[in-house]
Every structure is written in C-alpha cells, then in structure tokens.
Amino acid sequence: MTTRSPLEEVKGVGPAAAKLFGQLGIETIGDLIHYYPRRYDDYSHLQQIKSIKPGHITIKAEIKQITGRYVRRGMHITEAIASDETGSVRLVWFNQPYRANGMKSGQSYFISGTFELTHQKMAIMNPSTERESDFPVNTARIVPIYRETKGLKSAQIRKAVKSVVSLVSTLPETLPSWVTKDNKLMSRSDAVLAMHFPDNSQVLDQARERLGFEELFELVLTAQLIKRDALDEKALAIPFKQKLAASFVSHLPFKLTDDQKRTVWQIYQDMQRESPMNRLVEGDVGSGKTVVATMAALMAMEQGYQVAFMAPTELLARQHAETIYNLLEPLGYAAQVSLLVGSMKPRQKEQARDHIKSGRVRFIVGTHALIQEKVDMHKLGLVIIDEQHRFGVEQRTKLQTKAGHMPHVLSMTATPIPRSLALTVYGELDISIIASKPKDRLPIKTTLISPNSRAELYERVDEQISAGRQVFVVCPLVKESLALAKTKSAQEVHKTISQGPFKHRKVGLLHGQMKGEDKAKVMQAFLDREYDILVATTVIEVGVDVPNATVMMIENADRFGLAQLHQLRGRVGRSQHQGYCYAILSDSQAPSKRLRAFAQTTDGFRLSELDLELRGPGAIYGTFQHGQLDLRIARFTDTKQISLARNAARRFIESHESLLQYKYLAARVHKLRAITTLN
Ligand code: ADP
Ligand code: MG
C-alpha cells in the first residue's frame, strides 16, 4: 500500500464506499491523507447540562424522544431531549428531517451547538452530534469534522484515515531542512497526522502553522522566481525626455496629485531599463489613472514605438480613446491615436489596421480580445491593461514581438489588492498606489435604503436633477426573471420610473444585450445631458466617466459583491459636486455586515481587506477559482507568517540551491507558475 494506491485497498472501503469517496475528490490513499477536516469539535471541554449558559457549548448526553414534524409552509422541525446526570435540555433542528432517523433514542452522543432562546424557550439550536461509541474514550477529544457527502459521514472518513495512519508517518519532508528548522516548523508527517488526530489544540495550531507556511512559501517562491526570470527578458529601453513630460503637464487643465507624479516617475524609471516593466497601478476609482497611463504612452510614442491600450469593454475603449485623444491633442500627437473595436464598420477597421501596420498609428485603444489577437504591431513598446486582474503568463508571452522583445507592461486596477495578496500571489509585480484623490473631490455620501422608503428617495433624487445633475440607476438584471424573485431588471425599472415618479424627466436605458454601437450612442447622449437618468446594468461598472452625474442608485444592493458596489459608487462624485450613493435593499431585513461597511467607508483598501476576510480570496480573485491554487490552510490575514515565508523564499533563491532536489516543491512551483496572474 502506497499513497498512490486506490482507495479500495483501505480496509473496510468497498467499491460502493470508494464511489462515495470519489464524489469528495478522494481517489487514492494519498488524497485521503490530504483530505483535511473542515472543522473540529472540541470535546475536551465538556459541560454539564445544569451549568450551561447561552452561547456555544458542548455536552455529552443521552438522547430521548426524537420527533420530526412539518410546520407551516414546508418548514420542518426536529426536536429531541438530551439528558446527563445533572439535567435535561431541548435540542432543535430546522429543516434537517433526516436527523430523526439518524439518531437512536437511548444512546449517548457528543452534542455541540449554540444554546439560545427560540420561540420563548431555551434550546441548543442545530447542534452537530457524534455518537460517543464512535470514539474510543481515551483517544481524540478534539474531533475532526470532514466535509461529508450523502451516505458518507465524518465517522466513516475518520475510520478510513485511521487505517492508513502508518502511511502518514512515512510521508517525506517537502521543505528544505533549514526552512523547517529556522521557522521552528513541525515535520510534514507530524503535521498531517495532527490535522486528523490532534492531541490538543496547541498541536493542532502547530500543524496548521506548518502546512499554512508551506502553502505561502510555495506561492511566494513562485512569484520571486517569475520576477527573477523576467530580468533576463529583453525589452526596448525607453529613455525619459524631461521636456516632453513637462510640456504634457503644462497643457493639463489641472495639477497632478503627488501620487500621480510619483507613479509616473516610477513608470519612467522602469521603462528606461532593458528588462520589461511589470507594474500594477492601483488607484481607487476616480484617482486619475488614465492621465498617468497616457504620460507613459507618450514617452514610448516619442521613440517611435507603439502602444496598445486594452480596456475590458468596448464602451470603455471608446471613452478612453476620446480622453486620450484630447490629452494628446495639444502636443500634436492626437493623429497617432486610433480606436479599434469590434463594432466599428469593416472599412474603418481595415483602415485602422493599415495605419497600425504602417506605423502611422502608434497608440491603439481597443478591447483585450481585439488587440491581443488581430493586430500586427511591429514596434510594440508598451502595453497598458485597464481594469483586469487576469492577465496570465500565457497572454504575456503572446505579446513578445517578432524581434524577440517583450513590451513593457503597465496594468491598472481600481480593485485594491490587499497587502497580503500583493506580497504573495501577486508578489512578482511592482506596485504603485495612487491613494489620494484630486483635491476638489468631496467624499461620496452613501445611504442604505429600505424598499419602503422609495418614494422619499425619489424626491431627494429629483432635487438633484432639478439642480442640473444626472443620475445612474443600476439593476442586477437586463430583463425580468421569474426565477429571481424580488430582483430588479433594467428594462422593468426603466419602464416604471419613466412612466411614474420620473415621468417629467428624460430616462435612458443601457444594458449588455444592446449592440456596441447603440450602447455608445446612449452613453454619448447621457454625456451630452440628453438624459437625466440612465437606467443600466453593470455594463457601467468600470471606468465610465460622466462628471455631471452625482447620484448612483443601486437596486438589490445586497446582490452585489463589495468590490462591485465600490466600483459602481465610483461612477459618481467625479467632479466638484457632492456625490450620493443610494444602495437599495431587496427587502426590509437588517442589512449585512458587508453593506454596513460599504455605507460607512469610501476607502477602497479597507473594503478590499474586509472582502478578503468575509469571503476569502477565492471569491475576490478569479484565478483562485476552482481551487486552482489549492490553498487549504494558509490564512492571508496572517501577515507575520507571510513575512517569514517571504524571507525564506528570498534566502532560498539567494542560496542558488537547485529547486529540483525538492521534488514535491518543484512540482508545486511548476504548477503555480502556470496559473498565477499578472506577470
Ligand atoms: P480612474 O482612476 O478611475 O481611471 P480617471 O483617470 O478616469 O480615473 O480620472 C477621473 C477624472 O478625474 C477624469 O475626469 C480626469 O480628467 C480627472 N483627473 C485626473 N487627475 C486629476 C487631477 N490631478 N486633478 C483633477 N482632476 C483630475
Ligand atoms: Mg479608469
């Protein structure tokens, strides 16, 4: 029996059970060994029933009188009485009808749950239960609870793991020995063993620390290796021309903020080198990233190099092209700017491509797809990527020019990356942060609105329109959907408000199912103030710039993620006028922590940290999806461990040790390299 053996070689696991294990992704004995518990119930602090107080508690008691019944509208309640020598307590489960069958009256169980008041009586709510007889008395008091599947319970998984314990103790060490020693880490085999059978909570903590460290170390090492390799790539050095930069700045209708200046300076320094720039500019919505990007582009154009600017949507590409055109006009560079988007007429596209090919056009603005695939740029010196996290190794390699040069890459995002992720997953990037907003901006006022207060809200919004301002209304859906009750659609809201409360106003409609051209027309009309209100879907989420708009109403605000809400809010408050964001809730229940935080702060960084805490990295950054990175233990909130892992990775690289002598580590790094983003 080895870690590669199929699961059926485990004693007591037959073909039927193996199939169930397979549903949990466990095919081999190795998979089983690395199937860590989802959580633990601590039975080392058992309480007596007579002394339990409200809150989380664990007791050992005999169960009696289990009954299950349906109450109103399909709601199911299971009730039972649990007793020990000191007293009895009621147990209640909602909507878990299988509970009544799963437990036997008269048997002793470990019971863990929250003791609280429900329907005027105290009870332990939705407790988890484990049969006492499933635990030999003298072993683990901290009980691992695994993710289960129908027909396969934690107790069975525990049993299976138990019968391969001898293999766990032979697991090889995967980290260099000096790394474990310097960081006082448990050996790998001890750690894995403790994950399944912790003797006490301290040992469990140490096991988590060891395994979490390893995950972070792999990530950071990968990032640092990518960064080191990039130093060997060739780029076209773009010298800094002070006069040109000064002339550009002198034509701006405003003064650059200090953060903008510093960022531009960092970019110019990067571009002067012969190895490619790989810089990310993080700046909250409205912090003025476009000007910064244009200044970078200017320097490249001046050398006769081409610049590709990739926006996530056509709408944005069009708007950016216009902005960039206007910024470069006074210097006589406007004629070198060209838009290239799918919805342009074939003849226009043809012409744009010709001009790109001949080099007459040096600044191409388009969508990610178009620029990457269909354009023949012979002197590509700089690539600017707006609002996109996912720009992987592969895409970057595609940019390599025929002459073997790599362009400088400048990415821009308004979704702040929490520092912990910046240091690990995105560790190969250089980062500039534009933290300050242009001075004349007032912070946006955000209010959570209960659906009952709609009428008052509309009055307030109408006052803004009377004052000459414009309004966005964002809905989660394009069309009504029966499947999604209480969820507003743009079409429906457009109809109701333009016939009802805003009959006297001009109301436009914009959504993703419209043709590119039509979208652009509506957007232009809104910019030209032909509409007072624009009802839209999240097509307007990123980047759209309408300085005269001061009100953002978000329907079903609870349906959106924090980052998205923050992006939407950033569409207003882009001028000297006060901006307002009204987040309308789906129902009159108390708003979530997420929404309350959203209303309390306009600080994008704080919100991103909170989002990471509440939802984990997976939900925030697309690349973590599908468990690709396979981070199971590492906590991104543990800054101390991150910094230890970074130091170890740095030392590893400086030591020039060969990665290949650590087979497991090398394989992990290889895998991570292929999936980490933005490099
Ligand atoms: P974002 O960072 O969201 O991409 P933009 O580049 O679209 O922001 O800039 C938002 C608005 O602020 C634009 O209208 C731009 O002209 C203006 N702007 C940029 N920098 C400054 C500045 N230093 N002072 C005043 N306004 C500025
Ligand atoms: Mg922008």
Structural domains for the chain: 1-41+152-170 (no CATH), 45-140 (2.40.50.140), 242-272+288-413 (3.40.50.300), 445-601 (3.40.50.300)
pLDDT confidence of residue 624? 43
Is residue 679 scored above 50 in pLDDT?
no
Which residues sit opposite 69 in a β-bridge? 77
Q: 366 C-alpha vs ligand 2 centroid, how far in Å?
A: 14
Please give the residue that has the higher pLDDT: either 118 or 464: 464
User: Which residue has the CA at smallest separation from atom 13 of ligand 1?
Assistant: 288
Question: Predicted confidence band at 238 (pLDDT cuts at 50, 70, 90)?
Answer: very high
Percent residues over pLDDT 70 in the chain: 92
Say if ligand 1 is within 6 A of residue 438 CB: yes
**E-only strand ranges, 387-469:** 408-413, 430-434, 445-449
pLDDT confidence of residue 374? 59
Q: Which of 6-20, 175-189, 527-541, 599-613 has the highest mean pLDDT?
A: 175-189
Residue partners of 506: CB distance under 8 A and separation at least 6 = 530, 531, 532, 533
Give 24-41 pLDDT, tens digit per residue. Answer: 999 999 999 999 998 887
Q: Cα torsion at 193, 199, 201, 207 (round to 10°)?
A: -20
Question: Predicted confidence band at 375 (pLDDT cuts at 50, 70, 90)?
Answer: low
Give 399-424 pLDDT, tens digit per residue. Answer: 666 667 888 999 998 877 777 777 77
Say if ligand 1 is within 6 A of residue 414 CB: yes
Is residue 398 scored above 80 in pLDDT?
no
Say if ligand 1 is within 6 A of residue 326 CB: no
Please give the residue that has the higher pLDDT: either 671 or 161: 161
Which residues sit opposite 337 in a β-bridge? 363
pLDDT confidence of residue 493? 95
Q: 605 C-alpha vs ligand 1 centroid, how far in Å?
A: 19
Say if ligand 1 is within 6 A of residue 604 CB: no
From the CA of 286, which ligand is nearest?
Answer: 1
From the CA of 441, which ligand is nearest?
Answer: 1
Please give the residue that has the higher pLDDT: either 346 or 636: 346
Say if ligand 1 is within 6 A of residue 254 CB: yes
The Cα 225–Cα 146 span in angstroms is 35
Say if ligand 1 is within 6 A of residue 501 CB: no
3-class SS shares of the chain: helix, strand, coil, % to 5: 45, 20, 35
Please give the residue that has the higher pLDDT: either 375 or 39: 39
The Cα 311–Cα 614 span in angstroms is 29
User: Which residue has the CA at smallest separation from atom 15 of ligand 1?
Assistant: 288
DSSP annotation of 652: H
Say if ligand 1 is within 6 A of residue 144 CB: no
Q: Which of 156-160, 507-511, 571-575 has the highest mean pLDDT?
A: 507-511
pLDDT confidence of residue 623? 44
pLDDT confidence of residue 70? 86
pLDDT confidence of residue 471? 97
Q: CA 131: distance to chain centroid?
A: 39
**E-only strand ranges, 24-140:** 39-42, 55-70, 76-84, 87-94, 108-118, 121-131
* Ligand 1, atom nearest to 256 Cα: 23
Say if ligand 1 is within 6 A of residue 312 CB: no
Give 64-90 pLDDT, tens digit per residue. Answer: 989 988 887 778 899 999 999 999 999
Please give the residue that has the higher pLDDT: either 204 or 545: 204
Question: Predicted confidence band at 135 (pLDDT cuts at 50, 70, 90)?
Answer: low
Mean pLDDT rounded to a whole number for the chain: 87
User: Which residue has the CA at smallest separation from atom 9 of ligand 1?
Assistant: 288
3-state secondary structure of 289: helix
Q: 545 C-alpha vs ligand 1 centroid, how far in Å?
A: 9
Give 212-230 pLDDT, tens digit per residue. Answer: 999 999 989 988 888 888 8
Say if ligand 1 is within 6 A of residue 527 CB: no
From the CA of 545, which ligand is nearest?
Answer: 1
* Ligand 1, atom nearest to 291 Cα: 6
The Cα 15–Cα 28 span in angstroms is 13
Mean pLDDT in residue range 535-546: 80
Is residue 110 scored above 90 in pLDDT?
no
Question: Predicted confidence band at 484 (pLDDT cuts at 50, 70, 90)?
Answer: confident
Question: Predicted confidence band at 140 (pLDDT cuts at 50, 70, 90)?
Answer: very low
Lowest mean pLDDT among 55-64, 252-261, 633-642: 633-642
> Ligand 1, from 287, 320, 567: best to mutate by most atoms within 8 Å of Cβ?
287
